[in-house]
Amino acid sequence: MRIIAGSARGRKLLSPEGMDVRPTTDKVKESLFNIIQFELADAVVLDLFAGTGQLGLEALSRGAAQAVFVDASGRSLATVKRNIAACGFEASSRLVSSDSLAWLSRREGKYDIVFLDPPYHRGLCDRALPLLPPVLSENAVVICETQADETLPAAFGEYALYREYRYSAIKLTVYRKTDTEN
């Protein structure tokens, strides 16, 4: 696992041992960042269920201004902290030790890009999406990574499913604010 583009390109990232964390594959990660490439400059990013932190770190490498990494696992947060240091992003990163759903209910900050990559088949995206609107900036984009057979809601708040992308057994679901003028 590595950073694939930007200022930290090629930096290797650590992953906790065991099956608790399932890092996003390079193919899916590259596709994800192609989808949002023009929205990364100076963005404030929220990496929920951070795991290794690779999505937030890739965003920072590609020009995001800040990233907040939220995870309940101490092992995962220790790994994220080491990965942040390996990439030199300490000044633009914040670690939060919390259950992602509980943290969302506190409504801290405004985010331009939100990554949700929770453990599969636990309904965590379904439960997190309705909690997001208060922390989303005006033109935020929300990306959920799930197994391809998981069905996510068509909308939450003012946000609607924009597009789904399938990569073998993995699906990326992108949400954007609905156009209220049409």
What's the rounded Cα separation, in Å, for the pair 53 and 47? 7
Rg (CA), the chain: 15
In a domain, residue 165? The reply is: yes
Within a domain: residue 116?
A: yes
H or E segment to which residue 136 belongs = strand 136-147
Is 11 inside any structural domain? no
The number of folded domains in the chain is: 1
- Determine, yes or no, domain membership for 58: yes
The answer as to whether 9 is a domain residue is no
Say which residue the tokens 């929205």 belong to.
39
Residue 17 falls inside a structural domain: no
* Domain harbouring 152, CATH code: 3.40.50.150
Is 13 a domain residue? no
Decide if 21 is inside a domain: no
Per-residue pLDDT of the chain (182 residues; tens, 9 = 90+): 888 998 999 899 988 765 456 667 778 889 999 999 999 999 999 999 999 999 999 999 999 999 999 999 999 999 999 999 999 999 999 999 999 999 999 888 999 999 999 988 889 999 999 999 999 999 999 999 999 999 999 999 999 999 999 998 999 999 999 874 43
Q: Print the domain residue range for 144.
A: 26-177
